[in-house]
Amino acid sequence: MRPDMHKVIVERPRWNPGPRKNGRGANVPDELLPKFEGIKRPHRHRKGQTDLLGPLKRWLRAQVSRPWNDIYSEACAVIKPDSVMRAHVKTHLLELVERHTFMHDGKVCVLDIGYPGRGIVPIEERRYVWTMFFVHPETDLLQVIPQISRRVWRTREPQTPVTVRWLKKNIALQKIRGLWFECHFEVVPVDVSFTKVRPWYYPPAKSRRSYDEALEHIVSSGALNRHDARNFLCTLKRQLSKRELRRFGLRNAPIPHSV
């Protein structure tokens, strides 16, 4: 590790070079300088202290397959705890390496206690952390955590079953109690009472409630179906036939056998 690694990671060069140099008017003519200016104002924001972790990650990647104790000893010989900047670099070093690993069911696992905590999980399935390396619990060697693409993550995550498929502006296919129906909807304006949509109505109009055929119960305005930023009330439904199910590529849920 380079002796000035803490400067490479934490410090960055000065911003805005040029005659003014971000507020410093040493090379600016007197007629362009402000008449009144505070003492600290010309010296503000002259340097940026932003973490640049690329060099640290490349150094750790070059140490893969080496014992972690040797790597940490070499890093501590350079990152001495004599300043806040060096201690800050050491903090990032420990964040990038997962050291608390153990074997579980033949896999290298960690205890995920974050939010949401999932308990014991394999090291490659841990998400939303900065960790890129881990120490093997049996060999004590530094290893790289296999990176999983977002496409693979999406295939692993449980998919929300599709229960509504809109065909037209006011016609949709909706799955109700495991069966697919063709539902006809009417747009309900926000400022219009349900009495203008349905002739029968219960309870009184001031409660803004009406019966929804798809939901099969009386609903309020807040429980209506939302589509294209509008409220819809189902006024008619019809169960799909077998030919229509094959046409749209849908399947009804199997009926459980009674014991």
pLDDT in tens, 179-211: 999 999 888 876 544 444 444 444 444 344 578
Q: Give the rounded distance of the alpha carbon of 35 from its chain centre.
A: 50
Domain ranges across the chain? 1-25+39-158, 164-248
Average pLDDT over residues 77-89: 80
Strands 142-144 and 164-166: unpaired
- pLDDT at site 149: 75
Q: Identify which of 131, 125, 138, 123 has the alpha carbon closest to the alpha carbon of residue 68.
A: 138
For 43, 159, 162, the CA distances from 166, given in Å and listed in that order, are: 61, 19, 11
Residue 120, pLDDT > 70, answer yes
pTM higher than the cut 0.85 = no
Q: Identify which of 120, 122, 124, 114 has the alpha carbon closest to the alpha carbon of residue 144.
A: 124
For 23, 66, 207, 233, the CA distances from 222, given in Å and listed in that order, are: 56, 60, 11, 11
- Higher-pLDDT residue of 237, 196: 237
pLDDT 10s digits, 136-184: 999 999 999 988 777 776 776 666 777 888 888 889 999 988 899 999 9
Average pLDDT over residues 35-60: 74
Residue 217, pLDDT > 70, answer yes
- pLDDT at site 187: 85
Is residue 224 within 8 Å of residue 183, measured between CB atoms? no
Q: State the residue for tokens 């056998």.
A: 257
Distance CA 70, CA 157 (A): 39
Is residue 96 within 8 Å of residue 133, measured between CB atoms? yes
Residue 259, pLDDT > 50, answer no
Residue 48, pLDDT > 80, answer no
Q: In this structure, what token pair is assigned to residue 165?
A: 């498929």
Q: Identify the weakest region by mean pLDDT among 13-22, 136-145, 148-157, 234-243.
A: 13-22
- Band of the pLDDT at 37, cuts 50, 70, 90? confident
Is residue 45 within 8 Å of residue 22, measured between CB atoms? yes
Q: Give the rounded distance of the alpha carbon of 213 from its chain centre.
A: 37
Residue 15, pLDDT > 60, answer no
- pLDDT at site 139: 93
- pLDDT at site 102: 93
What percent of the chain is predicted at pLDDT more than 90? 24
- pLDDT at site 20: 55
